[in-house]
């Protein structure tokens, strides 16, 4: 049993082929990461902390702007550019950002506490993190950097505004949100395409029942929610929203195929062309045809 392709379904309906890569245009407000090599952009130096001791100050770039680089997804390669000014809004709004290693573990510096400062210049997103030289995590990072085992920086962000070329072969990132994201020193980054389903799968795998229970108890108590628990709840919210969208789509497709009203739209029987789901799908037709392809798989032996 094989699935009908999107173009086969469109051809049967007398429609022109639809390029699958237009699905790339749906990538928005999803947690993503991007890596950039240290090159000559990163420095780790000792500095006096004002109490008679020393801190380690990490400076570098977590992202470069106006510099094209190649990305890869299930449809193949495409070009991406983070445009100058992409960080202006999120930085002006006081984004709460952590400095981590490999996007996980203990927070080593943070904008909220004043130990992490982010900015944007002609080169990209600048990072200055004041690290505790006595922390074993910082000592481990310093050793790894000295050995060359950690040689890239990365940022975790959500794209808020983007522009795609007509053939969907170049993505310009116009505005990002760094709030509740992070900048990290990372040991390596193969292809920097950790977006979409891959990132959602990793995020879901990282949430335990205990972590979610703790976050919900803190939320119910009415106290200020910690950054870690907020991240857990945000991930769950993103996953629920995605599932809700999938259910809405399935209802539209099934009701269309069965010739019955959509149970979520009592007015559909009278005026089906004005169903709110139809308006939403008109903006993203690929999702409708992809779902139809799955549901019509039984049409082939």
Q: pLDDT by residue for the chain (301 residues), tens digit each? A: 556 665 566 456 554 344 556 667 777 888 888 988 887 778 888 877 777 777 899 999 999 999 998 888 777 788 999 999 999 999 999 999 999 999 999 999 999 999 999 999 999 999 999 999 889 999 999 999 998 888 899 999 999 999 999 888 899 999 999 999 999 999 865 334 333 333 344 445 455 666 667 777 777 777 677 766 676 676 677 666 656 655 665 666 667 667 788 777 655 545 444 444 444 444 444 444 444 544 444 444 4
Determine how many CB atoms are found less than 10 A away from the CB of residue 193: 20
Q: Is the dihedral of CA 215, 220, 224, 230 positive or negative?
A: positive
| 78 touches 171 (CB < 8 A) | yes
Helices (H), 259-284: 276-283
DSSP state of 131: E
Look at residues 149, 152, 238 and name the one whose alpha carbon lies nearest to residue 195. 238
Distance CA(164)–CA(140), nearest Å, equals: 41
- What backbone phi and psi angles, to 5 degrees, belong to 214? -65, -40
Supply the pLDDT for residue 142. Answer: 92
Look at residues 15, 184, 161 and name the one whose alpha carbon lies nearest to residue 98. 184
| 277 touches 265 (CB < 8 A) | yes
Report helix, strand and coil shares of the chain as percent, to nearest 5: 35, 30, 35
Look at residues 258, 278, 257 and name the one whose alpha carbon lies nearest to residue 267. 278
Bridge partners of 161, per DSSP, are 175
Burial label, 54 (beta-carbon count in 10 A; 0-12, 13-18, 19+): middle
Supply the pLDDT for residue 127. Answer: 95
Distance CA(167)–CA(96), nearest Å, equals: 36
Residue 111 CA, distance from chain mean position:
20
């Amino acid at each position: 049993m094989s699935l009908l392709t999107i173009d086969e379904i469109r051809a049967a309906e007398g429609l022109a082929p639809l390029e699958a890569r237009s699905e790339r245009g749906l990538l928005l407000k999803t947690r993503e990461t991007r890596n950039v090599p240290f090159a000559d952009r990163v420095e780790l130096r000792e500095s006096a902390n004002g109490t008679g001791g020393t801190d380690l100050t990490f400076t570098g770039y977590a992202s470069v702007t106006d510099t094209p680089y190649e990305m890869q997804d299930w449809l193949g390669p495409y070009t991406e550019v983070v445009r100058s000014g992409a960080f202006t809004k999120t930085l002006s709004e006081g984004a709460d950002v952590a400095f981590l290693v490999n996007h996980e573990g203990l927070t080593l510096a943070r904008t909220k506490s004043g130990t992490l400062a982010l900015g944007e210049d002609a080169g990209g997103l600048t990072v200055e993190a004041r690290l505790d030289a006595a922390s074993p995590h910082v000592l481990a990072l310093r050793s790894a950097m000295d050995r060359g085992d950690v040689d890239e920086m990365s940022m975790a962000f959500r794209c808020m505004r983007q522009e795609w070329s007509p053939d969907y072969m170049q993505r310009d990132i116009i505005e990002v949100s760094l709030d509740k994201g992070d900048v990290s020193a990372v040991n390596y980054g193969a292809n920097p395409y950790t977006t979409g389903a891959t990132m959602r799968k990793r995020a879901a795998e990282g949430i335990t029942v205990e972590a979610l229970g703790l976050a919900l108890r803190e939320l119910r108590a009415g106290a200020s929610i910690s950054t870690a628990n907020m991240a857990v709840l945000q991930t769950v919210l993103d996953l629920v929203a995605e599932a809700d969208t999938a259910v809405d789509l399935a209802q539209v497709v099934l009701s269309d195929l069965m010739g019955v009203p959509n149970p979520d739209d009592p007015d559909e029987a009278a005026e089906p062309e004005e169903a709110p789901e139809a308006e939403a799908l008109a903006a993203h037709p690929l999702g409708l045809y992809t779902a139809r392809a799955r549901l019509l798989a039984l049409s082939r032996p």
